[in-house]
Structure 1
Amino acid sequence: MVVFFAKMARKGYRQKKSFLQVSMTSQHIHDYQSYSRLARDHYENFPVASWLISAKYRQSLHAIYAFARTADDYADEAMFDGRRMEELKKWRHLLDECIAGNAKDPLFLTLADTIEKHALPHALFYDLLDAFEQDVQQSEYANWSGIVDYARRSANPIGRLYLSIHGYRHEQLNVYSDAICSALQFTNFWQDVSVDLEKKRVYIPTNIMQGFGYSLERLYQRDENQAFTQVIQYLVAQTQTMFDEGKKLIPLLDGRLQKEIAMIVLGGEMILQKIKKQRYCVLSQRPMIKKRDKLYMLLRACLGYAS
């Protein structure tokens, strides 16, 4: 609920400098406060460890975001064309050193402290790296199970880390969190269809397009016909069903975390509603969260969110 929540954090259209551009010009980052500033700079649709979260947790969440955001830039930013896998391999080596207790890089020293302090599962960090590497190597998906598996590694680890940092480790809570995180990832896919096309990436499953009489060829031609809008309508409905399941998590949480997760879910659902209002025409118009939307989300979350 940090890359996603803002990897979801991930596929958004970014007009600002990449995380790597900022961190390089700063001659490396040595403190949690710097990670926090960078995290705020990169958030679009969703809160990134917002002020709703207690400060004692916020710093750790920003450290995780810095790790994930940097790896995502290696996979996604134009400045790394031709050497994406090389950079991700180096990043994985730094994570290996971090897990082994031999971190030297300032960011990984911070991450090591976060992992130790909260006893975070190491596998979740490797899952994130696996997903970033997959983005470099795979540009299309044949079916729904393919993107579900991608989200299992690209998004779900963030939610599980989020809960672990707050002391929630019950598996059923993780299941609800997974539903929210995957739904957020899919929401971002449908929001960014046109953006991803420019990068030669398609997250709409091929067999679903074919089921509605649409095709990859038409998609690359940006043919926003009735078949296309039916595809998006179907995907939006499937994603909302996932949100509905994941929302069962909210009443099981306490205090500020409950409000934070409610706000995150509201952000995802609002994007889906905007897609509906524009008649599922996401090729010609990219739905976006505006300032007044964020205020509405905050008020609803603080006053008590109900489906």
Structure 2
Amino acid sequence: MSETRTKESTVKVEAIRSTENREQKIASFRAAVELTSDAVRVVSVTAVDALKASARFMGVTTKEENLANPFDNIDAPVWSEKDIPPFILNTAYDYCEALTIREAANFYHSFKYLPDEQRRAMCAYYAFCRRADDIADGDYRDLFPGSSGPKDEEALEYISRIEEMIQRVPVVDRTSFIDKMSQLFFFRKKLSTAYNDLVSTDPIFLALKDTVQKYHIPRIHLDDLIAGMEDDFFQDRYDTFEDLYRYCYRVASTVGLVCIDIYGYENPKAREHAEAWGVFMQLVNILRDVQEDADRGRIYLPIEDLARHGIQPEDVLEGRLQEHPGWGPFVAEFIERIEVYRDRALDLLPMLKPKMRFSPAIMMGFYRSILKKIRRNDGDVFSQRVKLNKVEKLTLALSIYIRHRFLTFF
């Protein structure tokens, strides 16, 4: 019996090592995507001077107050100059801030009390995250001047290699898969300009380059977020919590890690708590949006944990959770797990300077309140979307603001 167990243990260890080696190879391949000046057309900043003098340069909003890319008429992916005039960089930051205000008023509320430099940096990073999510999970079309889109040979070669390395069949239709993967491939190319000597004509990556240089943000965190979006095309089930954690790390913990680079910290343990912060918020999202995800054929809750309470994938996908006798006990157990990460996240706050604490504190506060509502509703996330009303948001924001702006002296 002991010999059999030893063999089984050896097989498991070898399988884990094999998976880790494969993932390292995939990560290295993804990170190698690079934009070079000899492979694309470049444009001089003097083109913007011409646009500035014309009616085509409209800033970041049109007369209808819709968000508009201020460099939309620039038909090259990079500038020919290395030093960009301040008015172009400021316009790029303005675009990111306008995007944040329009798409995420709650998040922007947490940013606006930061010092100006950090606020603008957070908006640039948010814009990057938002666009990646819009490409992967929405209808937004990201353009890369000079590319052939989903027919681009370089993009198709990248997609083919990723499929070969991941060893999975995409869970979305082939046309959508190729289209979105090719967009994310060129999104990666734009990201590379934030870390090399090129300067993107995309306002998001222009502002992002300035941000990563100021705060020394490692590229791996931004690469990992895009990887999480790509992996979502290959997986619509997570067998174990460990599988789910890897996904949460990529799409959420990396966000927490970038945020603290912008806030600033001295204790290296802050990184552990920033990682937990991302997992906490993502798990709340997953629990709250279980029906919405099921309607798209996705189950993010661990299949293993659901099965322990007698819940099968069909129960989730066919809308039977609310009446299922195992749903209440499952939710109670899952909330306990979420609270572990919540508590670790809260320990991050004392590690930040007082003037930086309000931003993460308000985000944590909103999600803590949503989790409390789910608990009070006995796991009913089906009758209506669980969210805070305006009064609840204002009351919470005021209490957190007072606590972290006036009652903190260290």
TM-score (norm. length: structure 1): 0.86
- Mapped to 2, the partners of 1:202 and 1:188 lie a distance apart of 12
Range with bigger deviation, 103-112 or 259-268: 103-112
| Alignment correspondent of 1:286 | 385
Whether contact under 8 Å (1:127, 1:154) holds in the other structure is yes
Structural mapping, 1:69-148, within 5 Å? 69-78=130-139, 81-82=176-177, 83-106=179-202, 107-148=204-245
- Which amino acid is the alignment partner of residue 54 of structure 1? P
- Mapped to 2, the partners of 1:79 and 1:113 lie a distance apart of 25
| Alignment correspondent of 2:312 | 215
Q: CA deviation at 1:23?
A: 5.1
| Alignment correspondent of 1:32 | 93
String of CA shifts for 1:16-47, please: whole Å, max 9, x gaps. xxxxx955698389421221121122226645
Q: CA deviation at 1:183?
A: 0.3
Q: Does 1:62 align with 2:123?
A: yes
Whether contact under 8 Å (2:288, 2:385) holds in the other structure is yes
Q: CA deviation at 1:154?
A: 0.7
Residue 52 of structure 1 is aligned with which of 113, 118, 139?
A: 113
| Alignment correspondent of 1:171 | 268
Whether contact under 8 Å (2:111, 2:122) holds in the other structure is no
| Alignment correspondent of 1:43 | 104
| Alignment correspondent of 1:264 | 363
Range with bigger deviation, 202-211 or 286-295: 286-295
CA RMSD of aligned residues (A): 2.3
Q: CA deviation at 1:255?
A: 2.2
| Alignment correspondent of 2:396 | 297
Whether contact under 8 Å (1:179, 1:243) holds in the other structure is yes
- Mapped to 1, the partners of 2:242 and 2:277 lie a distance apart of 17
- Mapped to 2, the partners of 1:103 and 1:25 lie a distance apart of 16
Which of the pair has the greater relative contact order for Cα pairs under 8 Å at 6+ separation?
1
Q: Does 1:249 align with 2:348?
A: yes
- Mapped to 2, the partners of 1:254 and 1:296 lie a distance apart of 24
Range with bigger deviation, 120-129 or 164-173: 164-173
- Which amino acid is the alignment partner of residue 364 of structure 2? V
Residue 287 of structure 2 is aligned with which of 190, 194, 201?
A: 190
String of CA shifts for 1:254-294, please: whole Å, max 9, x gaps. 22311222211111110101111211011333201221121
Q: CA deviation at 1:95?
A: 1.2
Task: Report the count of equivalent residues.
Answer: 286
Change in 2 beyond 3 A, CA 1:77/1:303: same
- Which amino acid is the alignment partner of residue 341 of structure 2? M
TM-score (norm. length: structure 2): 0.65
| Alignment correspondent of 2:331 | 232
| Alignment correspondent of 1:181 | 278
Change in 2 beyond 3 A, CA 1:26/1:112: closer
String of CA shifts for 1:63-110, please: whole Å, max 9, x gaps. 111111111111101456451111111101111233222132232222
- Mapped to 2, the partners of 1:132 and 1:23 lie a distance apart of 25
- Which amino acid is the alignment partner of residue 384 of structure 2? Q
Range with bigger deviation, 230-239 or 68-77: 230-239
Change in 2 beyond 3 A, CA 1:146/1:169: farther
- Mapped to 2, the partners of 1:199 and 1:26 lie a distance apart of 35
| Alignment correspondent of 2:43 | none
Whether contact under 8 Å (1:155, 1:185) holds in the other structure is yes
- Which amino acid is the alignment partner of residue 264 of structure 1? M
Range with bigger deviation, 37-46 or 111-120: 37-46
String of CA shifts for 1:117-171, please: whole Å, max 9, x gaps. 1111111111111111112221111010111111111111111111111222532
- Mapped to 2, the partners of 1:97 and 1:26 lie a distance apart of 17
Q: CA deviation at 1:56?
A: 1.4
Whether contact under 8 Å (1:212, 1:227) holds in the other structure is yes
Whether contact under 8 Å (2:111, 2:359) holds in the other structure is yes
Residue 303 of structure 2 is aligned with which of 201, 206, 231?
A: 206
- Mapped to 2, the partners of 1:206 and 1:67 lie a distance apart of 31
Range with bigger deviation, 34-43 or 264-273: 34-43
Q: Any gaps of 5 or more consecutive residues in structure 1? A: 1-20
Change in 2 beyond 3 A, CA 1:49/1:111: farther
- Mapped to 1, the partners of 2:301 and 2:345 lie a distance apart of 22
Rg larger for:
2
- Mapped to 2, the partners of 1:130 and 1:91 lie a distance apart of 11
Q: CA deviation at 1:226?
A: 2.1
